[in-house]
């Protein structure tokens, strides 16, 4: 069964460094999402992406964040200058159409020191 | 303000017993409601999805109900198994006028622990 994959599974970085989290959505999916989950808290929406552009972003998704679909398969989340509070699990999700179920990847656990 | 509240926060039951998890929401305009299961350190996995017109849906031992008038949903798990130990998250999608894109609002989840 096709699934969303994410790399790396874990990343440790120093505050102020740039990180790129990578996702490979399910191949025939058209809508892509990033979420984050701070330890012990609820999953929070970051951004949705469709037709090669951001369709919606939350207040969390400030100028330090960017997303890109550099080729036909990868979907990346870049954090330009990480802060301690960026430490969280980051989930990528994708779906075929706007009304269908989103399939989540296994997540990347980011730790900013 | 769009919110999703779940109760209880955590629940411990014995293997083989049934349990019911609750979800209240204020998301508007409502599109659909989903229950996800999230194992520790993993991504959420969809269990059920219900639209406005559906008031019950089953998936194996999981049965979800929806009362769109009172904006409440429940997830009933029958004959619990050790592998049911996970966080169960209620997720409500808000519709957008003129768009098929729906933003998801997550509850904090109910942490279920099944003991042998």
Q: Give per-residue pLDDT as tens, B44-79.
A: 999 988 888 889 999 999 999 999 899 999 999 999
Find the mean pLDDT for residues B13-18. Answer: 97
The yes-or-no verdict on residue B97 having pLDDT over 80 is: no
Query: In chain B, pLDDT over 90 holds for what percent of residues?
Result: 68
DSSP code string of B26-88: --SSEEEEEEEEE-TTS--EEEEEEETT--EEEETTEEEEEETTTTEEEEEE-S--GGG-EEE
CA proximity to A88, closest of B38, B41, B109, B89 = B41
Instruction: Report the alpha-carbon distance of residue B85 to residue B82 in Å, rounded.
Output: 6
Q: How far is CA B87 from CA A42, A103, B10, B58, B100, in A?
A: 11, 17, 9, 18, 28
Of A45, A99, A105, the CB nearest to B104: A45
Report the gap between the CA of A48 and the closest CA in chain B (Å). Answer: 8
pLDDT < 50 regions, chain A: none
Report the gap between the CA of A90 and the closest CA in chain B (Å). Answer: 9
Find the mean pLDDT for residues B94-114. Answer: 78
Average pLDDT, whole number, for chain B? Answer: 90
- Residue B100 has a pLDDT of 46
The yes-or-no verdict on residue B103 having pLDDT over 70 is: yes
Q: Is B34 an interface residue toward A (CB < 8 Å)?
A: yes
Q: Is B107 an interface residue toward A (CB < 8 Å)?
A: yes
CB distance A98–B43 less than 8 Å? no
Which chain A residues are closer than 8 Å to B37 by Cβ?
A: none
**Residue A46 tokens, joined:** 């970051």
Which chain A residues are closer than 8 Å to B46 by Cβ?
A: 101-103
Name the 3-class secondary structure at A84.
helix
Report the gap between the CA of A104 and the closest CA in chain B (Å). Answer: 5
Residue B2: how many other CB atoms lie within 10 Å? 13
- Residue B78 has a pLDDT of 97
């Amino acid at each position: 069964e096709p699934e969303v994959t994410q790399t790396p599974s874990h990343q440790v970085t120093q505050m102020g460094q740039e990180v790129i989290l990578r996702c490979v959505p399910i191949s025939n999916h058209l809508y892509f999402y990033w979420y984050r989950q701070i330890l012990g808290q609820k999953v929070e929406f970051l951004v949705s992406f469709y037709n090669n552009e951001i369709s919606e972003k939350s207040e969390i998704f400030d100028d330090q964040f960017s997303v890109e679909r550099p080729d036909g398969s990868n979907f990346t989340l870049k954090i330009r200058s990480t802060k301690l509070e960026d430490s969280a699990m980051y989930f990528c999700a994708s779906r075929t159409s706007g009304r269908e179920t989103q399939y989540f990847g296994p997540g990347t656990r980011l730790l900013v020191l | 303000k769009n919110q999703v509240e779940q109760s209880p926060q955590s629940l411990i039951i014995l293997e083989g017993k049934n349990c019911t998890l609750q979800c209240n929401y204020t998301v508007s305009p409502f599109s659909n409601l989903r229950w996800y299961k999230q194992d520790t350190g993993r991504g959420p996995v969809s269990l059920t999805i219900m639209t406005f017109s559906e008031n019950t849906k089953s998936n194996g031992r999981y049965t979800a109900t929806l009362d769109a008038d009172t904006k409440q949903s429940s997830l009933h798990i029958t004959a619990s198994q050790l592998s049911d130990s996970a966080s169960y998250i209620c997720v409500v999608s808000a519709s957008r006028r003129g768009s098929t894109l729906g933003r998801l609002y997550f509850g904090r989840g109910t942490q279920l622990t099944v003991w042998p």
